[in-house]
Structure 1
Amino acid sequence: MIDKLTPMMKQYMEIKEQHKDCILFFRLGDFYEMFFEDAETAAAILEIALTGKSCGLEERAPMCGVPYHAADSYIAKLIQSGLKVAICEQMEDPSATKGIVRREVVRIISPGTVLDDSYLETKKSNYLMAIYRDEHSGDYGVSYVDITVGELRCTHIGEGELQDEIIKVQPSEIIYNCDTCASFFKKHPQLCIAYINENSREHFLNDEELLFKYFSRTHIEGKGLSEPVQKSLVGLLSYIGLTQNHIAANISSINLYSSNDYMKLDSFTRRNLELTQTIMGNSKKGSLLHILDKTRTSMGGRLLKKWVDEPLLSREQIDSRLELVCELYSDFSLREDIAAELKGIYDIERLCGKIAFEKINPKELVNLKLSLSKVPLIKRLLMSSSCTKLKELSEDVDELDDIRGIIEAAILDEPSYSSKDGNIIKSSYDPKVGELRELTQNGARLIRSIEEKEREATGIKSLKIGYNKVFGYYIDITKTNLRQTEVPEGYTRKQTLSNSERFITQELKLAEEKILTAQDKIKNLEYEIFVEIRNKIYQSIGRLQATARTMAQLDALNSLASVAYDNGYVKPELNLEGLLDIKNGRHPVIEKMIGHENFIPNDISQSRIKDINIITGPNMAGKSTYMRQTALICLMAHIGSFVPADEARIALLDRIYTRVGASDDLSQGQSTFMVEMSEVAHILSNATKDSLVVLDEIGRGTSTYDGLSLAWAIVDYIHSSIRCKTLFATHYHELTELEAELERVQNFSVAVKEDGEDVIFLRKIVPGGTDKSYGIHVAKLAKLPAEVIEKSSSILSSLEETKIAHNKKSIASSGNLRPAETEIKVNDAQLDMFSYKKDALLKELTDMDIMKMTPIDAMNCLYRIQNEARTLGDDTFE
């Protein structure tokens, strides 16, 4: 088939063969064209016309295309659809080339290597992650980078930590080295929000020389990289080099960290606490990050998200961040002035990335200049502050006057968008630019002067000079005028029309050459100067990145201070004594949704002596909110944020675990209860004495006494084996007996006010347990039919009078249910669906006075009871 293709289509197929996993954007003049299957795929996604092109075969090749100058938006749409795009450019000038123009793929764009702003979220990092698994140890080296800002991070983790690391980082694309990784991704489809690149294994080579193209030998040796980390880093940089055809100066340092540097938050906890996105809809709005993010720059927004994803474990680091927030919190004017100046700063980090990859345009350089003009003002604000920590922060601010000065001197204030369209460089910056611009701007005046001069010389008042693309400039004289005079000397006939003749002179030819070539010359000259300026800035990219990081840090700190001031947060006190004492704590998200004045605050107090709270109370009364707000307040303190409370003393925690809400995993064949037990197993296997564990309604998905037994045993295990801070909400009121059995357990409940048949949930957590759940009342609030409510109330009364009372006594008499000491025969006390009917019949038989009944009444009553008993099944009275 290839032999029959036209020469150009053969060239296309040869290039496509090398990039089978990409949509090939094949440059033809002013368009990127796609052919065959690529065209059919792209046309459907981009919603553009699918046409055809003769290719040497009997059938025309399917074809579609997009204008090269508008390609970015089309590429972004393909990337968002999970595809890769290979950009194939013309490497020669078609007008100066005989035969087929040489073409090469200059860049491959994938979800993790996008530079275009139309695809990227401004306040979210776009990470490319490389995972290398060591076959001998089973450990992983993980490296990831946002090439738009040059932020490179690496870590060495164990096999069980990979899933949580991926969920924390949220990469856009993952490359990996082995079949084990491939199997891992198939078993965890929830991770496939990232693009899993299955054609990337060849990048994981032992090529140390590649590292030295990015980093000095001293820098690498000083990091002490493990073999898995080093190989993951090589894979990452190799992939970037292949796809971008570029060694980027913005990737200049390795940030090596340990998972033990930050609080461990598993995927369940991140989801349950809705740290950066909501459970329903995966939206930022409604999450903790949405409340905390009042940043004025994209850089600050990305850094704040990173802080929320990675709470600190070092008390010294936490206190340092809290001090900075406190200084900004205490100075309203400074805080507002800083916010006003930050608002005018563009995304310097991503502008650095565009400089490094030679993608920056003239307007973006002007944006960089405008951003840098704000830096000296911000530095003076920090230096004038009375706060020591802020003054120290100002020392890291490089004002970058030289960079700003270059751009100011060279680039027009309103330049063209494209670097190759001219109208970029100021005339005052280069004399040649001034001359050429003068010529292009005054070309019309030059033509008019020649026209006037020729009219006077010939005496032909109607003589005029015109222009078209075929002949260029020409002198037009009507045939009537030509019959009255001779053709002037020096005129060369160019074209004959029905009513006139067209001529050209040497002077006009020279003028035409100057005018027509001046525009091309000035475009080329301006582009050369633009590249020189870009390269000068490139040499200082490290300084730009350092200042950008400082601006991002200041923005994130200022955001936390502003949120704290606006919402009435307080500075938490971290302690190593295991004390968790929060006065009038509030849920940071819910109080914003319903209004501060409508939210009922609550206290919590735990120490190492009393650190397990059993919380009982009605449905919908606020137990889950109370537990979540406690976890969020603790997490916010470890971020270095003020917290929603009147007072807060927070124990230094290493991990927070939550098991809240019901969910199943149908893709893995797991029921709601199986998911719940898996999550609890994960918590019990990983929590330490310095952890906070939040468990809500454990055991709901199975029979009553199976669930109760499990819940009881879980509390006992936490008490005896883990000894961590625990909040355990339950409707198993029997668990309140644990307060007398286990020394560190304390009971709390949600206060309720009963007024006849009405119940008011006070949403206040008070000491002591409860034995009511008010589930039927909640069902009534949910507008269940009155018949259902009435029937359920009747059934509940019957159950409470008979079987439940008996079962409570049976369970209580068995002790603390420790498996090693007591065997519980749950089947002996198990409720069945129709036991309330059996109990009612037994009660009726017991209360019956046979001696006062007539024979016919006795027979009728026995007949009715017999029929009712038959409807219950043969085994009801066994």
Structure 2
Amino acid sequence: MAKKIAETPLMKQYFKIKGQHPDAILLFRVGDFYETFSEDAIVTSEILGITLTRRANGSASHVELAGFPHHALDTYLPKLVRAGKRVAICDQLEDPKTAKSIVKRGITELVTPGVVMSDNVLTNKENNYVASLYQVSKDLYGLSFLDISTGEFLAGEGDRSYIDKLLVDYAPKEILIERNQKSQLCLTFKISTYTYELEDWLFSYANNYQRVCRHFEVKNLKGFGIEEDKTVVIVSGAILNYLDLTNHTQLEHISSLRMLNEQSYVRLDRFTIRSLELLQANNPGGKSLLDIVDQTLSPMGGRLLRKWLLSPLKDLQEIEKRQCVVSYMLGSQDVRARLRMRFCEIGDLERLVAKTAVGRITPREMVQLGVSISIMKPVKDMLFSTDDKVCMSMAEEIDPLESLLEKITTTLVADAPIAVGRGKVIADGVNQELDDLRDLSHSGKKYLDNMLLKQQEATGIPSLKIGFNSVFGYYIEVRNTHKEKVPESWIRKQTLVSAERYITEELKLYEEKILGAEERIEILETQIFTQLIDLVKRYISQLQKDSSMIAKLDVLTSFSEVAALYQYNRPQLDNSFELYIEQGRHPVIERTLPSTDPYIPNDITLDNNKQQIVIITGPNMSGKSALLRQTALITLLAQVGSYVPAKSAHIGLVDSIFTRVGASDNISMGESTFMVEMQEAAGILNNITDRSLVLFDELGRGTSTYDGISIAWAIVEYLHNASCGKAKTLFATHYHELGDLADKLDRVYNYNVSAKEVDGKMLFLRTLIPGCAEHSFGIQVAKLAGMPRDITRRAEQILNFLEGDKSDKENAVSGAKLVGKQKKRGKQQEEAYQLSFFQLDDPLLEDIRRELLNLDINSLTPIEALNKLDAVQRLLRGH
């Protein structure tokens, strides 16, 4: 079929160009449309929802066809890229009117999910990274990230857990993998992102060392600190090689390579990021921490805030610098308001600079770049006017670039269009020839009126008219009654029924001049605008520094704005091992509760030497999970440099925050809820240090009660006695038996979230008090949930039966003996319970028993469970 399709010259050209990037959808410019053919057309029509047609193509063959108008590219391109497709844009490289044969065409841009510059594809406050991943040895991997839209280039190396964290933190849209490693790496890191395979030579150390040196125009990589770091060189060079393959050659804005250092930031694994809902809520319609604390006004600030939340600092001095700025801005409302007003004006300076570097900036965006530069001086002056040393040091880093600003503002008109040729771009007075051509173009009617008047006087023909058409151009029309008065120098061009049309030498010269003026104007404006782009390119490095400083200021003023809005306070941080939070609140829950239901604050005290582990009991819905999460979020916000939702907080620096909160599974990988729970717990216990903060919520509930108690008991003992560090731990549980550990281990304490049953109804006080809760109130919570009354009554009967005699617990001498006795008694009670219900001589009950035993509890949804109970109840009532 391909041979038949290729018989036409157009399709021969198409397949030749398609062969350059066979794995990409080729948008082939034909006249005013971008067309796709064959398989590309089928895929494109499905993604875009456009019509798929067929076209005869000689020799009884046909080809599928789907296209859209070229001016709709910005509408359709994002949809293709978001669907995970690579898109090659093939444009006409010459004017079809002047082409002697088939129009010359070529690929002008290759867009991939990770390499994209289009504003319609990018998200304002999120980076768009392409990553390069490579395995060097059994547990050593290299990983680099590049956002071509901002020029940010990062690289690092580490073990599986660290690389996994980086993949979660930076969330690349595309991952480059060496072909032979793909299957193993995708399995190891559970990669679901779009991946692209590269040949092994593109990960060659020797080749990539030279490629990185060539890009940065250096002889060696000592200045980047990676001269001996082969892993980082391999993955960094692979990304640069990929840019070569995708025809991205203008890369002046990628001016540095920053190393990712695991030791600089608090460790947050993927489970912690998910359970704390830092960037994204786990439930539809919910809010994340980012949603609450993001008061940034610039896209750069928004992107930086996301990075800061995922990378809290461990350097006390750097944290205090951030706190100083937040403190000053909080106390100087006028300065903060004026700064934030400026941030609203700046636009996305970082991406505007990147577009300039690659030659993709439009005249309108260049005007916005000028506006962005114009705020630098007032921001710098405001910072210098403060009495804060950190603010003044930040001011010193800002360069107003006044000469560049003057050049931009004097060269461009304030309302420049989106492209040269779509309106006036260059201001008057910049180029004399351009001004003359504009005068000629704008004064054309007046010039022709003067010419007509002169010719009427010279010929004595009052009815002379000057006209224009696309075939003959400009002409003078004379009615037949006056044609004898026409001068001999005039040249007849057209004869009409009642008139003749002529041209003169003067009119011919004017026509050439006026018709060439518009074309010449566009050429001159293009030249001048290109020169301006080249000038701005010289300032890329400083513009990126200015952008970085504005982003940092935007985040810090955002922190002060949040503190003012929500009554946050400055935490005290030091290098101690203590953590004390007075009247702490959950930053998200307190903002989403109804105004009639205020959030109840609580105190938390943890330290390595006295109160290392706090076991928290209490009923469901009492606020145990919220208490755990708020402790982690307050600690995290403090080490990001923000104020915190608490009356006061004293936080000894932590180096890692680990959470095991909430139920989840990974059925597609054959991992049950309990397996995932144990994997996450193992990941925590294998990595704790003296400065870890550990949060466990309902650990062990994914298995039987007795197994769960045993595992939870052993984990608490391990955390208390571990030689690798005394991690500060909050352990929320329904296993009241764990309360006995406070009598056996000297750094374990019991607290409970108080609740009362008043007249058969639950009253949640949500206040943390010393001691272990006596009840879980599970049946009372079931009543609140609307469970049918017959079920809750029967549940109370069963509970009383199962609880039985508690004398064993009082006489137990160890946790292991306690669990063993309870398990034995529990089995006896279970058997007794089963005899009382199922061993009656009744066929109907036997059928119910069989059906219940065959239920797959793990896959049963709550609604399905209630429906089953309802069906059983109806059968029993009918029976």
TM-score of the superposed pair, with normalisation by structure 1: 0.91
Give the match for residue 184 of structure 1. Answer: 185
Does structure 2 retain, via aligned residues, the 8 Å contact 1:747–1:769?
A: yes
Tell whether 2:644 aligns with 1:648.
Answer: no
1:51 deviates by 3.9
Give the match for residue 410 of structure 1. Answer: 411
State how 1:34-73 maps to structure 2 within 5 Å: 34-53=36-55, 55-73=57-75
Letter in 1 for 2:13: Q
**C-alpha distance in 2 between matches for 1:27 and 1:34:** 9
CA shift digits 1:821-856 (9 cap, x unpaired) = x99477523347855647989xxxxxxxxxxxxxxx
**C-alpha distance in 1 between matches for 2:560 and 2:645:** 13
Q: Aligned in 2, Cα 1:836/1:733: closer, same or farther, shift over 3 Å?
A: farther
Give the match for residue 510 of structure 1. Answer: 509
State how 1:403-442 maps to structure 2 within 5 Å: 403-421=404-422, 423-442=424-443
Match of 1:277 among 254, 258, 280: 280
Gapped regions of structure 2 (runs ≥ 5): 851-879
1:669 deviates by 1.7
State how 1:10-159 maps to structure 2 within 5 Å: 10-53=12-55, 55-134=57-136, 136=137, 138-159=139-160
**C-alpha distance in 2 between matches for 1:461 and 1:545:** 67
Give the match for residue 578 of structure 1. Answer: 577
Give the match for residue 754 of structure 1. Answer: 757
Number of residue pairs aligned between Structure 1 and Structure 2: 837
Give the match for residue 519 of structure 2. Answer: 520
Give the match for residue 731 of structure 1. Answer: 734
Tell whether 2:536 aligns with 1:537.
Answer: yes
CA shift digits 1:302-339 (9 cap, x unpaired) = 11111001111112221221122112122111111111
Q: What RMSD, in angstroms, separates the aligned Cα atoms of the two structures?
A: 2.5
Give the match for residue 829 of structure 1. Answer: 825
1:63 deviates by 2.4
Does structure 2 retain, via aligned residues, the 8 Å contact 1:34–1:63?
A: yes
Give the match for residue 780 of structure 2. Answer: 777
Does structure 2 retain, via aligned residues, the 8 Å contact 1:130–1:175?
A: yes
Letter in 2 for 1:604: I
**C-alpha distance in 1 between matches for 2:613 and 2:187:** 38
1:120 deviates by 0.7
Letter in 2 for 1:790: R
472-481 vs 629-638, which deviates more? 472-481
Give the match for residue 607 of structure 1. Answer: 607
Q: Aligned in 2, Cα 1:89/1:200: closer, same or farther, shift over 3 Å?
A: farther
1:219 deviates by 7.4
Q: Aligned in 2, Cα 1:838/1:209: closer, same or farther, shift over 3 Å?
A: closer
1:355 deviates by 0.3
302-311 vs 590-599, which deviates more? 590-599
State how 1:457-536 maps to structure 2 within 5 Å: 457-482=458-483, 485-536=484-535
Give the match for residue 8 of structure 2. Answer: 6
CA shift digits 1:744-780 (9 cap, x unpaired) = 1000001123323222110001111012001111111
Letter in 2 for 1:601: P
**C-alpha distance in 1 between matches for 2:829 and 2:443:** 96
CA shift digits 1:539-586 (9 cap, x unpaired) = 111111111111111101100111012111111111222101000000
1:865 deviates by 9.0
Letter in 2 for 1:310: S
Letter in 2 for 1:708: I
Letter in 2 for 1:492: I
1:242 deviates by 2.3
1:287 deviates by 0.7
CA shift digits 1:21-80 (9 cap, x unpaired) = 101122334333222221222123223333445544423422233333432222111101
Q: Aligned in 2, Cα 1:600/1:681: closer, same or farther, shift over 3 Å?
A: same
1:474 deviates by 1.9
Letter in 2 for 1:100: I
15-24 vs 443-452, which deviates more? 443-452
Letter in 2 for 1:417: I
Q: Percent identity?
A: 39
Give the match for residue 815 of structure 1. Answer: 814
Aligned-partner SS, 2:768: strand
Give the match for residue 859 of structure 1. Answer: none
1:486 deviates by 4.5
Letter in 2 for 1:699: G
TM-score of the superposed pair, with normalisation by structure 2: 0.91
Letter in 2 for 1:792: A
1:200 deviates by 6.0
CA shift digits 1:124-156 (9 cap, x unpaired) = 11111111221x454112111111111111111
Aligned-partner SS, 1:65: strand
Q: Aligned in 2, Cα 1:270/1:57: closer, same or farther, shift over 3 Å?
A: farther
1:671 deviates by 1.5
State how 1:291-302 maps to structure 2 within 5 Å: 291-302=292-303
CA shift digits 1:423-461 (9 cap, x unpaired) = 111121111110111111112222222233333333333
Aligned-partner SS, 2:91: strand
1:476 deviates by 2.4
1:8 deviates by 2.4
Q: Aligned in 2, Cα 1:48/1:440: closer, same or farther, shift over 3 Å?
A: farther
**C-alpha distance in 2 between matches for 1:442 and 1:87:** 40
419-428 vs 264-273, which deviates more? 419-428
1:405 deviates by 0.6
**C-alpha distance in 2 between matches for 1:838 and 1:546:** 73
**C-alpha distance in 1 between matches for 2:119 and 2:581:** 43
Letter in 2 for 1:800: E
**C-alpha distance in 2 between matches for 1:48 and 1:199:** 32
Give the match for residue 861 of structure 2. Answer: none
**C-alpha distance in 2 between matches for 1:230 and 1:20:** 29
Letter in 1 for 2:551: A
